[in-house]
């Protein structure tokens, strides 16, 4: 069958971008069904044709207009049915939650400090809202598990009509005393109407701790969701803080590159002056011009890196990268936090307050509750069942007047349910629960070791950056003195061009070192706070998340 016939007869499947092979396969199958059914229709009675039409619709329509069609071959991409609807919805982009997403107004003329920037990120980043919704869902699951302690009430009502008959045969005895034959008879027709309204109750009274285990699991899941919410905030604070320092580092690198350009121009002017007075050579002048051009190139590269750092920083806030935002510079105050704390104290704090460790402990508790729940399945469950209501029944025989009545109905009783054999399902569930508990305990041990390593490395990096700061300051002072002396000697004809160029390069490198060292101090301090769990740490009086 040609793809032309396919596209004209089966338009719901054959899109412009769809593969003709898939359309041909569907069309051939459906045409065979149509031909077979058309032959059968000529041989069937009219009432059977109605049934046949329903069968045709059941067989052909799902295969023709359904979207459950796989790609015809693995060699090339294809357009699945309904793809255009998805693309149109994505193009509209109506996915923002205006109720929960706060609109933050950025003042272009205001210079924002780091705490204000962190506050903006925590209010605008969608990750915080996603984690918040998960915590709310976990809180609702706690209430859902507690509902098993309450009785289950159900109200039901119904009405109906029934017409039935009962045959009454005429019997004849003979020829012997045990022989009976049917000679005729009749039927008794009855009609009945019934109405009923009932209030039913079922209350699980005792289940050997299965409900308690379910509530415990739900509460531990809530704890995991809550500390996961806090961990998201800590990651956002860390990312914004790191990008903040990276942005300031890029700024300072631009300043270093600008000072390098000025120094290169100064050296070039000195080389030109020496050449004009017959003290220098033309190669020195050309080399100085090359050095100036290289310094200007490095300046443009630094400005490009600054632009990238600005975009990355604005993106970390959860706002559009095109937003105009003025960011304050890094404070030059010396850092004293964590300097007096010992490594053992920092590790102990991390092991007691890290959100991921709290989540691991909550997972262990949940798995223990799951084991208790699996054990409880081996014991009986005692329930109270009761019902109360009203019922009316009216009956008529052989078109006689209806007779009957209405009365209240009620009942109550206790039931005990004990599964005797379930195909070893309870045993398997218990083994799975015990295995998950052992896995959760092993994860906790591994996580504790990882936390100790992270704190140790972060503390080492912080102390190293602090020690390097004093050396970097001495390096900058020495490089500035060396460049000034080399330039003065070169200007008076007492030094060489190679000496002054090397001194200029060393000065630029020293300025870059001091910038990187200061940035490393702030970044390593933030990483240490993150490894301990001090970033965005909730206060002890903070309210718990709950579902209203």
User: What is the three-state SS of 283-308?
Assistant: HHHHHHHHHHHHHHHHHHHHHHHHHH
Q: What percent of the chain has pLDDT over 70?
A: 82
| 157 plus 88 within the same structural domain | no
Name the domain boundary from 397, 417, 437.
417
Q: Residue 389: give the domain boundaries.
A: 152-206+381-417
The Cα–Cα gap between 535 and 335 comes to 16
Q: Dmax over Cα atoms in the chain, in whole Å? A: 159
The answer to whether residue 98 is domain-embedded is no
Q: Is the dihedral of CA 486, 491, 495, 501 positive or negative?
A: positive
Name the domain boundary from 417, 435, 465.
417
Q: Is the pLDDT of residue 534 over 90?
A: no
Query: Which pLDDT value is given to residue 247?
Result: 92
What's the start-to-end Cα distance of the chain, in Å? 62
- Find the angle CA(193)-CA(194)-CA(197) to the nearest 5 degrees: 155
349 neighbors 532 (Cβ within 8 angstroms): yes
Query: Mind listing the pLDDT tens digit for each residue in 515-525?
Result: 889 888 989 99
Element (H, E) at 136: helix 126-146
| 18 plus 87 within the same structural domain | yes
Looking at the DSSP bridge assignments, the partners of residue 387 are 200, 411
452 versus 42: the higher-pLDDT residue is 452
Q: Exposure string (b/e) for 319-355, b if CB count within 10 Å is 16 or more? A: beeeeebebeebeeeebeebeeeeeeebbebbbebbb
SS3 525: helix
Task: For the beta carbon of residue 237, count every other beta carbon within 10 angstroms.
Answer: 22
The answer to whether residue 490 is domain-embedded is no
Q: Is the pLDDT of residue 8 over 70?
A: no
Looking at the DSSP bridge assignments, the partners of residue 158 are 196
Q: Is the pLDDT of residue 416 over 80?
A: yes
366 versus 270: the higher-pLDDT residue is 366
435 neighbors 367 (Cβ within 8 angstroms): no
Query: Which pLDDT value is given to residue 45?
Result: 46
Q: Is the pLDDT of residue 379 over 70?
A: yes
| 87 plus 9 within the same structural domain | yes
Residue where the block lists tokens 């005895």: 173
The Cα–Cα gap between 536 and 353 comes to 12
Name the domain boundary from 73, 92, 111.
92
| 17 plus 87 within the same structural domain | yes
The answer to whether residue 159 is domain-embedded is yes
393 neighbors 261 (Cβ within 8 angstroms): no
The Cα–Cα gap between 309 and 248 comes to 9
Closest Cα to residue 348, out of 463, 441, 448, 445? 448
Contacts from 395-402 at CB under 8 Å and sequence distance 24+?
395/190, 395/191, 395/192, 396/190, 396/191, 396/192, 397/188, 397/189, 397/190, 397/191, 398/188, 398/189, 399/189, 402/191, 402/193
| 81 plus 156 within the same structural domain | no
104 versus 457: the higher-pLDDT residue is 457
The Cα–Cα gap between 52 and 46 comes to 10
546 versus 422: the higher-pLDDT residue is 422
What's the pLDDT band for 103 if we cut at 50, 70, 90? low
Query: Which pLDDT value is given to residue 489?
Result: 84
Highest mean pLDDT among 43-57, 166-180, 402-416: 402-416
Looking at residues 53-73, what average pLDDT do you find?
61
The answer to whether residue 363 is domain-embedded is no
Phi, psi of 381 (to 5 degrees): -120, 130
What's the pLDDT band for 277 if we cut at 50, 70, 90? confident
Phi, psi of 421 (to 5 degrees): -150, 130
The Cα–Cα gap between 116 and 110 comes to 11
Q: Is the pLDDT of residue 310 over 70?
A: yes
207 neighbors 131 (Cβ within 8 angstroms): no
The Cα–Cα gap between 367 and 438 comes to 9
Q: What is the mean pLDDT of the chain?
A: 82
pTM above 0.95, yes or no: no
Query: Tokens for 331?
Result: 């404070």
The answer to whether residue 177 is domain-embedded is yes
SS3 409: strand
Phi, psi of 91 (to 5 degrees): -65, -35
Closest Cα to residue 190, out of 392, 393, 390? 393
The answer to whether residue 169 is domain-embedded is yes
The answer to whether residue 198 is domain-embedded is yes
The Cα–Cα gap between 190 and 492 comes to 132
The answer to whether residue 185 is domain-embedded is yes
Closest Cα to residue 525, out of 114, 125, 153? 114
SS3 545: coil
Element (H, E) at 64: helix 46-65
The Cα–Cα gap between 521 and 207 comes to 59
Domain count, the chain: 2
């Amino acid at each position: 069958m040609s793809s032309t016939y396919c596209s004209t007869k089966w338009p719901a499947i054959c899109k412009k971008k769809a593969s003709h092979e898939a359309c041909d396969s569907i069309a051939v199958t459906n045409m065979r069904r149509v031909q077979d059914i058309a032959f059968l229709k000529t041989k069937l009675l009219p009432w059977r044709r109605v049934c046949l039409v329903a069968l045709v619709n059941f067989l052909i329509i799902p295969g023709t207009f359904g979207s459950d069609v796989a790609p015809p071959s693995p060699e090339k991409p294809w357009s699945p049915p309904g793809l255009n609807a998805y693309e149109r919805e994505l193009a509209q982009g109506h996915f923002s939650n205006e109720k929960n997403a706060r609109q933050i107004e950025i003042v272009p003329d205001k210079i924002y400090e780091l705490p204000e920037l962190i506050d903006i990120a925590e209010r605008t980043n969608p990750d915080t809202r996603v984690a918040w919704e998960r915590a709310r869902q976990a809180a609702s699951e706690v209430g859902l598990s507690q509902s098993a302690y309450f009785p289950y009430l159900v109200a039901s009502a119904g009405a109906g009509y029934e017409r039935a008959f009962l045959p009454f045969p005429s019997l004849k005895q003979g020829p012997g005393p045990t022989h009976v034959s049917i000679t005729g008879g009749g039927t008794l027709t009855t009609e009945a109407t019934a109405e009923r309204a009932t209030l039913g109750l079922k209350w699980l009274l005792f289940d050997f701790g299965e409900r308690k285990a379910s509530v415990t699991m739900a509460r531990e899941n809530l704890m995991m969701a809550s500390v996961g919410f806090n961990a998201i905030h800590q990651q956002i604070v860390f990312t914004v803080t790191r990008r903040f320092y990276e942005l300031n580092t890029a700024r300072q690198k631009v300043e270093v590159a600008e000072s390098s350009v000025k120094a290169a121009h100064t050296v070039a002017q000195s080389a030109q002056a020496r050449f004009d007075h017959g003290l220098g050579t033309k190669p020195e002048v050309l080399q100085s011009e090359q050095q100036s051009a290289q310094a200007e190139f490095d300046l443009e590269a630094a400005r490009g890196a600054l632009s990238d750092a600005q975009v990355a920083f604005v993106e970390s806030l959860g706002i559009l990268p095109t937003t105009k935002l003025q960011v304050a510079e890094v404070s030059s105050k010396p850092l004293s936090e964590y300097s007096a704390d010992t490594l053992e104290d920092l590790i102990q704090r991390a092991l007691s307050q890290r959100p991921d460790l709290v989540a691991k402990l909550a997972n262990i508790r949940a798995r223990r509750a799951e084991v208790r729940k699996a054990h409880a399945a081996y014991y009986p469950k005692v329930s109270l069942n009761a019902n109360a209501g009203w019922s009316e029944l009216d009956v008529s025989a052989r078109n006689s007047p209806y007779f009957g009545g209405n009365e209240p109905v009620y009942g109550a009783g206790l039931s005990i349910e004990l599964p005797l054999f379930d195909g070893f399902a309870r045993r398997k569930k218990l083994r799975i629960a015990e295995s998950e508990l052992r896995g959760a305990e092993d994860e906790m041990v591994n996580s504790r070791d990882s936390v100790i390593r992270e704190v140790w490395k972060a503390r080492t990096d912080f102390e190293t950056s602090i020690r390097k700061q004093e050396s970097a300051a001495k390096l900058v002072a020495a490089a500035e003195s060396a460049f000034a002396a080399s330039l003065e000697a070169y200007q008076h004809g007492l030094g060489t061009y190679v000496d002054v160029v090397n001194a200029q390069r060393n000065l630029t490198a020293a300025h870059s070192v001091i910038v990187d060292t200061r940035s490393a101090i702030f970044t390593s301090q933030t990483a240490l706070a993150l490894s301990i769990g001090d970033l965005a740490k909730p206060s002890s009086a903070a309210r718990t998340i709950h579902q209203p």
